[in-house]
């Protein structure tokens, strides 16, 4: 059970990876003058948010499945604490690398709390949520988790409207007025989608097992993307960047300003 993967989970994650690549391709072509689109407005803004939301919901589903399997296999609380703390810190470490790279390449748009930072925090917070509610009656636990989702979305706007003058609370959603970043996903409201994933996991994969065989979806290409999402996250932007350079050269626009 510990190594079994659900094809549909990899499929959905792979679809999100594909959509991420498509969005970043459009983004790069736009900022380097090969397209003229409003990136921060619908429909592209909705497209980007839906892609990120899919990713983060799958984080919750996968976390629930993994956590449930540790219980079924008889692992204790110390094992779970070490496992998910290590997993979260590892992702935060990868996020720190992203911060360092963007600081040198794009200092005015540096990524201080992007997708990897967010997922790292969410793995640890999600684990804590599951550990806290472990042993509760199923209906009561689902009600509490659903209430957390609703509460996060209800107060997110109020949290983000608070005025701050430093970046210390970026992780919560409190950003200075002039803050700009290439990638920014604070806990409010995005952690609500991770908790929603925990709820979906509880409903569809009780004790880490697939409830309905009808959920099974197979597509080797998307499953491959889903299984290798972290590697692709790091590789796809340099590849897209190189493609933009080649495209500009072919279009006779040169590479001034992007090298």
Tell me, yes or no, whether 1 lies in a domain.
no
Residue owning tokens 């659903």: 146
| Rounded mean pLDDT, 78-100 | 97
Number of domains in the chain: 1
Count of C-beta atoms within a 10 Å radius of residue 20: 22
* Structural domain of 155: 7-250
- Nearest residue to 229 via CA among 83, 48, 66, 11: 11
Distances (CA, A) of 37 to 14, 41, 144, 246: 26, 9, 42, 20
Q: Would you say residue 92 has pLDDT above 70?
A: yes
pLDDT, residue 9, reads 96
Q: Which residues contact 243 (CB under 8 A, 6 or more apart)?
A: 25
Q: Is 169 helix (H, G, I), strand (E, B) or coil?
A: helix
Tell me, yes or no, whether 109 lies in a domain.
yes
From first CA to last CA, the distance across the chain in angstroms is: 48
| Rounded mean pLDDT, 69-90 | 95
Q: Would you say residue 106 has pLDDT above 80?
A: yes
Angle, alpha carbons 172-41-183 (nearest 5°): 40
Task: Give the whole-angstrom CA distance, residue 216 versus residue 65.
Answer: 15
Q: Would you say residue 101 has pLDDT above 80?
A: yes
pLDDT, residue 257, reads 54
Tell me, yes or no, whether 143 lies in a domain.
yes
pLDDT, residue 242, reads 87
**Are the CB atoms for 212 and 143 separated by under 8 Å?**
no
Q: What is the pLDDT of residues 13-31, one digit of tens each?
A: 999 999 999 999 998 888 8
pLDDT grade, residue 212 (50/70/90)?
confident
Tell me, yes or no, whether 238 lies in a domain.
yes
pLDDT, residue 259, reads 52
Task: Indicate the pTM of the whole model.
Answer: 0.93
Q: Is 113 helix (H, G, I), strand (E, B) or coil?
A: strand
Tell me, yes or no, whether 259 lies in a domain.
no
Tell me, yes or no, whether 145 lies in a domain.
yes
**Are the CB atoms for 132 and 67 separated by under 8 Å?**
no
Tell me, yes or no, whether 256 lies in a domain.
no
Task: Give the whole-angstrom CA distance, residue 158 versus residue 195.
Answer: 20
Tell me, yes or no, whether 258 lies in a domain.
no
Q: What is the pLDDT of residues 150-201, one digit of tens each?
A: 999 999 999 989 988 888 999 999 999 889 999 999 999 999 999 999 999 9
């Amino acid at each position: 059970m510990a190594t079994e993967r659900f094809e549909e989970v990899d499929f959905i994650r792979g679809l999100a990876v594909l959509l991420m690549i498509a969005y970043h391709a459009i983004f790069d072509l736009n900022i380097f003058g090969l397209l003229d689109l409003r990136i921060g407005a619908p429909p592209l803004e909705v497209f980007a948010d839906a892609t990120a939301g899919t990713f983060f919901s799958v984080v919750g589903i996968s976390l629930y499945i993994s956590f449930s399997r540790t219980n079924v296999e008889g692992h204790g609380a110390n094992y779970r604490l070490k496992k998910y703390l290590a997993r979260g810190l590892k992702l935060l470490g990868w996020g720190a690398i992203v911060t360092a790279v963007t600081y040198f390449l794009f200092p005015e748009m540096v990524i201080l709390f992007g997708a990897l930072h967010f997922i790292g925090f969410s793995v640890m917070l999600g684990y804590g949520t599951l550990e806290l509610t472990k042993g509760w009656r199923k209906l009561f636990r689902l009600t509490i988790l659903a209430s957390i989702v609703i509460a996060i979305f209800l107060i997110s706007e109020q949290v983000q409207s608070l005025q701050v003058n430093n970046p210390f609370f970026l992780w919560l959603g409190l950003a200075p007025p002039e803050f700009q970043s290439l990638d920014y996903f604070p806990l409010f409201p995005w952690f609500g989608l991770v908790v929603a994933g925990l709820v979906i996991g509880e409903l569809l994969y009780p004790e880490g097992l697939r409830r309905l065989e009808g959920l099974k979806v197979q597509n080797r290409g998307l499953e491959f993307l889903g299984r290798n999402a972290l590697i692709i996250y790091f590789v796809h932007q340099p590849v897209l960047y190189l493609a933009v350079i080649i495209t500009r050269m072919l279009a006779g626009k040169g590479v001034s300003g992007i090298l």
